Amino acid sequence: MLTGKLLAKKLGMTSLYDANNSLIALTVLEVVNCTILRLKNEQTDGYSSIVVGYGACKVKKVKKPHSGVFAKVGIEPLKSIAEFRLYKSISQDKIEKGAVLTLKDFNLIPNQLVDVSSISKGKGFAGVMKKYHFGGLEASHGVSASHRSGGSTGGCQDPGRVFKNKKMAGQMGSKMITCQNLQIFSIDFEKNIILLKGNVPGPKNAIVSVRDAIKEQLIQRGRND
């Protein structure tokens, strides 16, 4: 059953012992309280979704187009705006403009599998040894001042070009990464905290999106068929 996409802030990592006295690495996520700014439906927009805002922000830092959105709802300006599809499992009494979605409004349970998406840490411009774990050139035998280079990138006459998707030096990190099938270790509804087994992309205080595992849904659908 879908729970919809919720937004959370990565607080960091910790570790706890499970029932078998095994040490489990955990990522601590604090669910961000989102205020519903707009409702989209099939008649006017062609699909159903909700537009939410989150994060406190100073009035002078809000863009003018966004300030009008907050004025229509009658709330204080928020830092960011996001949109996600509307699912029936979210409490229907919460689906109205100005309502605040918290962790209690989503049907999450321990041991459930979820997919987590976030922007990974930016590493800047990196060489092939750091970016793709190339071995580098030899330390001797005529190699001079190019020990960490990527080596040959293609033939001269044939093929006479560099193939697409060739692994070369360039920007590393700062990309949207999705970790699939992460298991929920425990949930604290009072503090809006979720503990996930394993690591989640992004630095501390990064905003991540959590949704039901897609592959798990396809498996369940295949079993039902």
Q: Give the pLDDT score at 85.
A: 76
Query: Do residues 179 and 116 lie in contact, with contact meaning Cβ atoms separated by under 8 Å?
Result: yes
CATH at 64: 3.30.160.810
Domain assignment present for 41: yes
- Domain interval for residue 83: 32-101
Domain assignment present for 158: no
Domain assignment present for 82: yes
Give the β-pairing of 122-126 and 170-173.
antiparallel
Domain assignment present for 43: yes
Q: Give the pLDDT score at 221.
A: 64
Domain assignment present for 175: no
Domain assignment present for 201: no
Domain assignment present for 93: yes
Q: Give the pLDDT score at 137.
A: 94
The ranges of the chain with pLDDT < 50 are: 1-3, 88-89, 91
Q: In the chain, how many domains are there?
A: 1
Domain assignment present for 165: no
